[in-house]
Amino acid sequence: MLVKICGITSTEMAKKAAEAGADMIGFVFAPSKRQITLKEAAIITRALPPSVKTVGVFVNESIAKMQAISELTGLDYIQLHGDEAPSVAKKLRTKVIKSFPADSLCSKIKETRHYDFILIDSPAGKYRGGNGRTFDWKLAKNVPKQNVILAGGLTPENVQQAIDIVQPAGVDVSSGVETDGVKDPEKIRKFIQNAKGGSPIEKIYNA
């Protein structure tokens, strides 16, 4: 189970997430309370082991700017979190994750084949993501699971239930591992532990 910890803004927290077993670290370059600068992201990326992949989150940004930031910070993935068309992904030189609000997934299902991963998130609030709201996970059950990352209101307490229902390739969390708006190392550790723990059925078969 891939685990992406998004909205990281410090080297210290990035290292703690990596030590806890995070597979991906997300940097938000779009307007958000978790927005990070290019310089800060570059410093964090250099401090991470190669096994931890970095993701830049953008909303309706120009291809030139996304590509420039990707190259300067060493991003492994660009996450398109706005209204970008599939043609945008074809012009980028990195792997691409595309976010889809759960309430529009049915109408966009044919587009999912254009991306390395699709991220299924809650319907948009003030910001395009990181709103901390869950949705009916059954909406994501009929999507091909091999490239699905599930997001939206996940916490250490509900992530295993969400995984059992959706069976995604990975999960993504931001506000669900925060305390008073700040990333909490213990919540990150518990989230990753619970996400990678496997369902009760898997534990029986793997015993």
Query: What CATH number did the domain enclosing 197 receive?
Result: 3.20.20.70
**Chain-wide mean pLDDT for the chain?**
89
Whole domain around residue 128: which residue ranges?
2-206
Which regions of 62-201 does DSSP assign to beta strands (E)? Answer: 77-80, 95-101, 117-121, 148-150, 170-173, 178-179, 182-183
**What is d(CA 20, CA 14) in angstroms, rounded to the nearest whole number?**
10
Interacting residues of 32 by C-beta distance below 8 A, sequence separation 6+: 7, 127, 130
Q: How confident is the model at residue 124 (pLDDT cuts 50, 70, 90)?
A: low
The conformation of residue 111, written as its DSSP 8-state character, comes to G
- pLDDT computed for residue 204 by the predictor: 34
Catalogue the active-site residues: 6, 121
pLDDT tens per residue across span 161-200: 999 989 999 999 999 999 999 999 999 999 999 999 854 4
Q: How confident is the model at residue 133 (pLDDT cuts 50, 70, 90)?
A: confident
CA angle 48, 50, 56 (to 5 degrees): 70
pLDDT at 24: 98
Q: Decide which of 25 and 123 is more confident.
A: 25
Distance CA 83, CA 69 (A): 19
Chain position carrying tokens 């940097």: 27
Beta strands in the chain (DSSP E): 2-6, 24-28, 53-58, 77-80, 95-101, 117-121, 148-150, 170-173, 178-179, 182-183
Domain tally, the chain: 1
